[in-house]
Structure 1
Amino acid sequence: MSETVRLRREEPGLTQADLAERTGLKQWAVARFEAGGTMPTVPELVRLAEALEMGLSVEFQPLREAG
């Protein structure tokens, strides 16, 4: 997910600071997420998706049954 955000941000030439401004996040938070150091909250993911003009899909998957 972090690589998708970075690639989508770079397509139009946005900097991490640009994306941070669009989302209300700090630049260092965008940098840490893109580097794989943190996982944003769902509301932060929504703001990132909106800022990058992307959809966001969150779904539950069934767990494996105990065997």
Structure 2
Amino acid sequence: MGAHKSWAELRAEALSHPGASGAYEAARIRFEVGEAVRERRRQLGLTQAELAEWAGLKQPAVARLEGGGTMPTIPVLERIAQALEVRLSVEFHPLREAG
């Protein structure tokens, strides 16, 4: 029987494949955007349906976004930001400083 690999080893192995790190980074961004939208929506006491209505979207689109299942465009993010009463900010960070 072979030794079991740790999660860190499995992750490093998976990310070593060509294109995997780009897909991982895209998934991380989708997750973080969705988490930020969900957190702010809850702070305001809004339902997904209410946010969708105010942002000119459908409720399933908000659910997909909050779940990290879609990468919204900047115009969609601007509409969501306005509905959430926040300012949209997009930043670039050098890779050596990125988390």
TM-score class, shorter: 0.7 to 0.9
1:34-63 CA-partner distances (Å, limit 9, x unpaired): 000001110000000111011111234557
Match of 1:50 among 76, 82, 91: 82
- What RMSD, in angstroms, separates the aligned Cα atoms of the two structures? 1.5
Structure 1: give runs of 5+ residues left out of the alignment.
none
Query: Looking at CA atoms only, which structure, 1 or 2, has the larger radius of gyration?
Result: 2
Q: Match for 2:48 among 9, 16, 20?
A: 16
TM-score of the pair, normalised by structure 2: 0.59
Question: Which one-letter code corresponds to 2:61 in the other structure?
Answer: A
Aligned length: 64
Where does structure 2 lack aligned partners over 5 or more consecutive residues? 1-32
The 1:63/1:12 distance shift into structure 2, 3 A limit, reads closer
Which structure has more RCO (C-alpha within 8 Å, separation ≥ 6)?
1
TM-score with structure 1 setting the length:
0.84
**SS in structure 2 at match of 1:14:** coil
